[in-house]
Structure 1
Amino acid sequence: MYRLVLMLMLLVTSLTHGCSVFTNLLSGGISTAKLQKASLVIENVTIVDPRTGSKKISQSIVISDGRIESVGSTLIQKPNKTYKRINAQGLFAVPGFNNMHSHALQAENSPAVLLLMLAEGVTGFRQMAGSTELLSQRAAGELPLTEKAPALLAMPAEPIIPISASTKDELSELMQRQKKDGADFIKVGWMSPSLFYEAIVESQKLGIPIVGHVPEGVDPTRAEFANFRTIEHLGPGDVIWIACSSQKAILLSESIDKPTRILPNFKLPNFATPIIQSLIAGKMKRFLINPVLEDSPARVSRLQKALTSFDRNKCNALAEQFVQNDNWMVPTLVRLRTQYFQNDPEYQKDKSIQFIAPHAYKEWLSVLNDFNRISTERKLIYKETYESQKVLTKLFSDAKVPMMTGTDGSGQAPGLSLQQEFKELAAAGISPLQILQMTTIQPARFLKKTSTMGLIAKGMNADIVLLAADPTSKVENLGTISGVIRAGNYHSKSDFDTYKKTIAESSDKNINL
């Protein structure tokens, strides 16, 4: 019996325990500090246009109250003595990076995690799991979203899972309530295919986007799938691979008739659902560190069958359909890699470890011990799977499937930074310019915010990254960060070094800078 079902049963019997603890955890050290918008002039900089990779040298960017007031030649810009001035001679200015799959607000030390994201150039993020409480705190301006944090671009309520809705009517009621509570989108994941299709139809009725994981047994070529906005983690699992398989009919039928993950067939009372979801989120931290440890032999076998029967023509046709449907991909290759290669020694030397709370890193090491005990044969299958996922990412990119960058991280495990995602995308064959587009103009297009983000131009938000080298020439240059401007506030590399030192020296990493 799949262990998560047992976990759910145990959680039902422990409704009165641990709820306030999780609430504090999810709030991540809530701060009432407000975002301060500043004025600034950046001079003598080379501006990179992410649409084409073209560059304009010796430019000035005048920023007023957190917005770009004007852009033009340094020689003709009128000086303004009241503005702080930054000489960016030799530097390249690009729009701020966006992490479109993050769980930063779920971190125990979310203000520090958000600041560390800013330090790697992230000026905007999409929170991929929320709650009624977080939505309420956002509305009240109580989230830790200051000038030392990226902007929160979008957030859902609680992800919809079987215990929160098990029928069409329950699903409809829940989705209506989430939209009323202020959710920007609906996130779904672990649910039956029939309910998944119903959720997509309901999202269209409500006029709210639906995104997330594609559940086992779903056929992404069905008409309803056209309205599924983003596919996270290339699926995850075997769904996309089955759709790209020469044995699709057999494998799809098998995944429907014999699912490898058993769904609970009960619905909790409304008063209990948020409590249970909170408890699940807390209890499942170990599972979420590395979900593949819960893979059954049947699940691994089906994935291997799908991979070995890969049909490129079928996959090209699927990619063409995604383009026509405007289905977006957020590959999160770093997330997939940390699952399949958790025992890579590089992860135990990751620079981010100094920022992870000791108890969280200890739990990661404990899960690593479990990973080390799985068979060599299974590890080889996972290695082949990841290499295939890079091939799939390149295939989708070449087919012009719209894609965005994301990590799935919350600062509680090594190997989940956006800069590392850039490198994995490059290893998959994506060009530096395409990666820059995936983290700037593509998120702006997806969010329908092209008038305020994604470019360095008059009227845009003053969220900018200053780089020491040309970001279009090689992927490593996206990490040569000299400074970051967030809402007009300038943070130098020296500033970030100081912030990082303070976080690293904190015993629990839970500080509010």
Structure 2
Amino acid sequence: MPKKLLALCLVFIFTITLHSQNNQQKTNSQWLIKNTNVVDVLSGKILKNRNILIESNKIIAISKKNKNYDNVPASNQIDASNKYVIPGLWDNHIHIEGENLVEDNLALFPVYLAYGITTVRDCASDLGEKVLSWRDQINSGSLLGPTIFTAGRKLEGINSIWKGDLEISNESELHLMLDKLDNYKVDFIKITESTLDGSLYTKSVLAAHNRGYLVSGHIPSNVSIETLIDNGLSSIEHASYVLRLGSDENEIISKLNSKEITKSQAEQLYYKNFNQEKAISNYKKLAKKGMTVTPTLIGGKQLAYLDENDHKNDAYLQYLTKRFTDNYQWRIGRMAGETAEQKQQKKDKYKRIAQQVPLMQKAGVTILAGSDSAALNTFVYPAAALTEELELFQNAGMQPKDILKTATINGAKFLKKSDTMGSVNEGKIADLVILNENPLIDIRAVNKVYGVFTKGQYFDRENLNNMLEIAKNKKIELDEKRK
């Protein structure tokens, strides 16, 4: 990077940091978003011609535009006429991962804000302690980025395929690891099933639940979804697991446990025997039990259509280092020998999974929008993948008003933060995105960001573009340094 450009970037970073520090000190400073359309995510309606008065980082009043706000400095008044204000977006499933990608991940934090994402739910990684530290720095105002809720590190079995897990083989080790997570002050517990025995997995869910945690996880092949819910599972991560609910899950699990069939054969039976009416009936049962599902469609879609989409010229790659994207090859390599039939099967399965999302939502299941963006997830780009996920929901048949809930109030409700987050209401934290277009007509309007208010600061389009430029140049700098 030219020295002059590097110096300019450093000045801008310093300015943002200083602005953040000043805003922390000026707790009584006020901002006004004027003459705008407020999107009420709870009712799915537009509140026209509203003024939003903000003090520090909290919404203190929402009123009709004829109210007098002369006390607000002109420099802090934002004219949002003919614009639409929504709550800051939530990506409810990401992984900030990679022990050798610390700088790479940190450089992407402002990119989330530039995409209108003010909150993320990090579902554990090998950077667990670092992410916890970043969470606290963002909360204190010393680091600019989205609010982070994190599981820290996830529970797994011995010799898991994932790096940095808390591996357990018995209940004693389980409680030691839960003690560790208690000390970390994690926001929820994440459990996966690479090598974790189904029985111990179930006990892990129950133990975490009994400690008062929300528990998110995958579904082991030999334990039913109903059993895990009854033991305290709070959310199913990835909609691929819910395809089980279109078959007699207990019968297939019984055959699996008696070794009549293999795990691979069980998966084939779930797909082959899938009955949509049975699935919808079971979705209603999930809803009655208060279950939440984070579909993460985008990852499956990217892999299913890898043979049709050339990602070499994707614009977002300008923000990702070579070291980051080198991780994409492990999934690409695993798919290299697939036949045309196998590729079509992947597409068909993706389509069926996507079809389930609006059906689950109509049945009453709480849906969370989450991208599963991570260095290990091929072409699932941090920040950008969330807006793609929302578009996939719309393509599957969900209505924009329901889609918007999945990326705003639903995340807040799941984490029991809806009293202070997730919607544009008086008394709530002012995480707000100003859009040029109405997202209740077409959810793709979330890509038309005019400005973002978060952490007591307002970033107009120019500032957001500067953030993206800095991220682009940081990528260049890191790639050059590592040659």
Other-structure match for 1:85: 77
Distance 1:433 1:140, change over 3 A: closer
Aligned with residue 159 of structure 1, among 154, 161, 186:
154
List alignment gaps of at least 5 residues for structure 1: 1-30, 261-297
Per mean C-alpha deviation after superposition, the further-off stretch among 415-424 and 79-88 is: 79-88
Q: Which letter maps to 2:455?
A: A
Please state if 1:427 is matched with 2:430: no
Distance 1:259 1:460, change over 3 A: farther
Please state if 1:104 is matched with 2:83: no
Distance 1:222 1:366, change over 3 A: closer
TM-score normalised by the chain length of structure 2: 0.83
Identity %: 21
Aligned with residue 488 of structure 1, among 456, 464, 478:
456
Please state if 1:386 is matched with 2:381: no
The RMSD of aligned alpha carbons is: 2.8
Aligned with residue 446 of structure 1, among 414, 418, 431:
414
Count of residue pairs brought into register by the alignment: 439
Other-structure match for 2:246: 244
Per mean C-alpha deviation after superposition, the further-off stretch among 468-477 and 171-180 is: 171-180
Which whole-Å CA distance do the structure 1 matches of 2:452 and 2:256 have between them?
47
Which whole-Å CA distance do the structure 2 matches of 1:320 and 1:146 have between them?
45
Contact 1:179–1:208 (8 Å) recurs in 2: no
**Partner-residue secondary structure (3-state), 1:379:** helix
Which whole-Å CA distance do the structure 2 matches of 1:391 and 1:435 have between them?
14
Q: Structure 1 residue 374: deviation in Å?
A: 1.6
Please state if 1:349 is matched with 2:317: no
Please state if 1:414 is matched with 2:379: yes
Which whole-Å CA distance do the structure 2 matches of 1:453 and 1:313 have between them?
36
Q: Structure 1 residue 305: deviation in Å?
A: 2.5
Contact 2:32–2:76 (8 Å) recurs in 1: yes
Once the two structures are superposed, the pairs formed by residues 314-353 of structure 1 within 5 Å of their partners are 314-353=278-317
Which whole-Å CA distance do the structure 2 matches of 1:223 and 1:446 have between them?
17
What whole-Å deviation, never above 9, does each CA across 1:287-320 have from its counterpart, x for those lacking one?
xxxxxxxxxxx65554332112112232123212
Please state if 1:504 is matched with 2:467: no
What whole-Å deviation, never above 9, does each CA across 1:304-343 have from its counterpart, x for those lacking one?
3211211223212321221122111011111222233333
What whole-Å deviation, never above 9, does each CA across 1:74-127 have from its counterpart, x for those lacking one?
221322243611111110011111011012365542232121111111111111
Please state if 1:64 is matched with 2:55: yes
Which whole-Å CA distance do the structure 2 matches of 1:259 and 1:352 have between them?
47
Per mean C-alpha deviation after superposition, the further-off stretch among 481-490 and 219-228 is: 219-228
Aligned with residue 195 of structure 1, among 196, 200, 208:
200
Once the two structures are superposed, the pairs formed by residues 364-379 of structure 1 within 5 Å of their partners are 364-365=328-329, 367-379=331-343
Contact 1:347–1:415 (8 Å) recurs in 2: no
List alignment gaps of at least 5 residues for structure 2: 1-15, 159-166
Q: Structure 1 residue 410: deviation in Å?
A: 3.3
Other-structure match for 2:162: none
Contact 1:319–1:401 (8 Å) recurs in 2: yes
Q: Which letter maps to 2:433?
A: V
Contact 1:93–1:464 (8 Å) recurs in 2: yes
Which whole-Å CA distance do the structure 2 matches of 1:304 and 1:346 have between them?
29
**Partner-residue secondary structure (3-state), 2:425:** coil
Please state if 1:233 is matched with 2:238: yes
Q: Which letter maps to 1:133?
A: E
Distance 1:506 1:303, change over 3 A: same
Q: Structure 1 residue 143: deviation in Å?
A: 8.6
Aligned with residue 211 of structure 1, among 211, 216, 228:
216
**Partner-residue secondary structure (3-state), 1:434:** helix
Which whole-Å CA distance do the structure 1 matches of 2:128 and 2:323 have between them?
28
Other-structure match for 2:254: 253
Which whole-Å CA distance do the structure 2 matches of 1:151 and 1:321 have between them?
33
Which whole-Å CA distance do the structure 2 matches of 1:195 and 1:88 have between them?
54
Q: Which letter maps to 2:275?
A: D
Which whole-Å CA distance do the structure 1 matches of 2:375 and 2:191 have between them?
23
What whole-Å deviation, never above 9, does each CA across 1:166-194 have from its counterpart, x for those lacking one?
11222123213312331222111022111
Please state if 1:128 is matched with 2:92: no
Q: Structure 1 residue 477: deviation in Å?
A: 1.4
Which whole-Å CA distance do the structure 1 matches of 2:139 and 2:38 have between them?
32
Once the two structures are superposed, the pairs formed by residues 445-484 of structure 1 within 5 Å of their partners are 445-484=413-452
**Partner-residue secondary structure (3-state), 1:506:** helix
Which whole-Å CA distance do the structure 2 matches of 1:145 and 1:99 have between them?
20
Other-structure match for 1:22: none
**Partner-residue secondary structure (3-state), 2:335:** helix
Contact 1:469–1:480 (8 Å) recurs in 2: yes
Other-structure match for 1:94: 86
Which whole-Å CA distance do the structure 2 matches of 1:474 and 1:141 have between them?
35
Aligned with residue 277 of structure 2, among 287, 303, 313:
313
Contact 2:206–2:231 (8 Å) recurs in 1: no
Q: Structure 1 residue 502: deviation in Å?
A: 2.7
Which whole-Å CA distance do the structure 2 matches of 1:458 and 1:370 have between them?
51
Q: Structure 1 residue 444: deviation in Å?
A: 1.5
Q: Which letter maps to 2:110?
A: L
Aligned with residue 118 of structure 1, among 113, 128, 138:
113
Distance 1:467 1:127, change over 3 A: same
What whole-Å deviation, never above 9, does each CA across 1:374-422 have from its counterpart, x for those lacking one?
2222212111110110122122111010111111113675344111011
TM-score normalised by the chain length of structure 1: 0.78
Contact 1:451–1:460 (8 Å) recurs in 2: yes
Contact 2:320–2:475 (8 Å) recurs in 1: no
